[in-house]
Amino acid sequence: MKIAIMNCMNTSRSCVAAACFRAYAAGTNAFAAYGEDDRAQLAGFFPCGGCDMVIESDEGFAKKLDKLKTEGVQRVHISKCASGCKRVQDFVKAYEGKGIEVVLGTH
């Protein structure tokens, strides 16, 4: 299964996503659900777009959704740093509206 990770743009200013990649590589935490029969292929990693971004109408975010679909990404993990965001359910709605599953969390 192709997956992608969205992180918090505020956090990404000072984060190299090492814990997300470590958990992905080790198959731990939120990635423990994947097994040999359902391997997770990380196909994208990107920041949310920022607190000022209007999820429903932002051109850049819409392009990200389209690109995820084009790349065959079936599931987006919303990283630990973003899963506590007050707008997280708006992001979930946007992904699910495109037929992309969402998992809250990475490491």
Question: Distance from first CA to last CA of the chain, Å, rounded?
Answer: 19
Which C-beta is closer to ligand SF4: that of 20 or that of 48? 48
To the nearest whole angstrom, how small is the minimum distance from the Cβ of residue 35 to ligand SF4? 29
To the nearest whole angstrom, how small is the minimum distance from the Cβ of residue 86 to ligand SF4? 7
* Interface positions with ligand SF4 (CB under 6 A): 8-10, 48, 50-51, 82, 85, 87
To the nearest whole angstrom, how small is the minimum distance from the Cβ of residue 13 to ligand SF4? 9
To the nearest whole angstrom, how small is the minimum distance from the Cβ of residue 25 to ligand SF4? 23
Which C-beta is closer to ligand SF4: that of 67 or that of 87? 87
SS3 57: coil
Q: Produce one character per residue of 70-104: b if its CB has 16 or more CB atoms within 10 Å, e if not.
A: eeebbbbbbbbbbbebeebeebbebbeeeebebbb
Q: 91 and 68 in contact (C-beta within 8 Å)?
A: no
Q: 71 and 2 in contact (C-beta within 8 Å)?
A: yes
Which C-beta is closer to ligand SF4: that of 10 or that of 29? 10
Which C-beta is closer to ligand SF4: that of 31 or that of 47? 47
